[in-house]
Amino acid sequence: LLNLDADVAIVTGAAAGIGRAIAMTLAEAGAAVVVTDLKPEGAIEVADAIVAKGGRAIGIECNVTDEAHLARAVEQAVSQFGKLTILVNNAGGGGPKPFDMPMKDFRWAYELNVFALFRLMQLAAPHMEQAGGGAILNISSMSGENKNQRMASYGSSKAAVNHLTRNAAFDLGPKNIRVNAIAPGAIKTDALQSVLTPEIEAAMLKHTPLGRLGRPSDIANAALFLCSPAAAWISGQVLTVSGGGVQ
């Protein structure tokens, strides 16, 4: 049930961190993967690593805030591998910002986390319908539920991702397309490591029953499940993957 031999996936922001782990894991399960990233050389490096392990992948540049890049990613999946059945909207960010941020920073969080993700779902859906169905996975954040200082832009945009996921599940369900999200807790990626002090890590661990921060593979394993036939009757859900942590 976790076999993806018949699938073709697009993963955004897949040159590093969580996206890279998801691309590698889906490929190990048999999917052909269009590895996309803002940084083309990073995407190509990940695709080469998949091919070196006997998998199927291509790496291409895709800035998710550029509609033409999104269209090209979908076109590449279909032209190179014949169809599109899995989309992982992983690229995202924006980070903590002071409440008096310039409006351009607030808009940017929505451009990157919400508008780009929605547009790629729109572009992918007709191809998934043509393939007989598919699975969309949006990478959200626990900030989409939790409230905190400096999270007005990032947190509310991830809340929009959660509700968009639930609504899209209704629009796309009749086409046999499932739409789910993962809300990761703190995952030790390069992005997090750069701001992680021992004090911050200790504070995070206080709220984490399983006693360690997350690894990209923790998210990738959940992603594999949600994109696979094992999750055939799961849609419109936001799965928190956080070592039991709630904050």
Q: Which residues contact 140 (CB under 8 A, 6 or more apart)?
A: 158, 161, 162, 165, 181, 182, 183, 184, 238
- Residue 243 engages ligand NAD in binding (rule: CB under 6 A): no
Which residue among 139, 223, 231, 241 contacts ligand NAD (CB under 6 A)? Answer: 139
Question: How many residues in total does the chain contain?
Answer: 247
Q: Using an 8 Å Cβ cutoff, are 63 and 69 in contact?
A: yes
Residue 240 is a binding residue for ligand NAD (CB under 6 A)? no
Q: What are phi and psi of 88, to 5 degrees?
A: -115, 105
Sign of the torsion formed by the C-alpha atoms of 191, 104, 119 and 80? negative
Among positions 49, 192, 205, 234, the unique one binding ligand NAD when judged by CB under 6 A = 192
Residue 157 interacts with ligand NAD (CB under 6 A): yes or no = no
Size of the site for ligand NAD (CB under 6 A): 29
- Number of other residues whose CB lies within 10 A of the CB of residue 211: 9
Nearer to ligand NAD, 47 or 91 (CB): 91
Q: Tell me if 15 contacts ligand NAD by CB under 6 A.
A: yes
Residue type at position 10: I
**Residue recorded with tokens 């094992």:** 230
* One of 34, 186, 227, 239 touching ligand NAD (CB under 6 A): 186
Determine the Cα–Cα distance for residues 26 and 224; give it in Å rounded to an integer: 6
Distance CA 42, CA 73 (A): 15
How many whole angstroms separate alpha carbon 31 and alpha carbon 55? Answer: 8
Stretch that binds ligand NAD, among 7-15, 24-32, 171-179, 197-205 (CB under 6 A): 7-15
Q: Does position 90 bind ligand NAD by CB under 6 A?
A: yes
Piece in contact with ligand NAD (CB under 6 A), picked from 22-30, 33-41, 196-204, 226-234: 33-41
- Least separation in angstroms between CB 239 and ligand NAD: 13
50 binds ligand NAD (CB under 6 A): no
124 lines the binding site for ligand NAD (CB under 6 A)? no
**Amino acid in position 178:** R
Least distance to ligand NAD from the beta carbon of 130, Å?
Answer: 25
Query: Tokens standing for 9?
Result: 């996936």
Which positions touch ligand NAD (CB under 6 A)?
12-13, 15-19, 37-39, 42, 62-65, 90-93, 112, 139, 141, 184, 186-187, 189-192
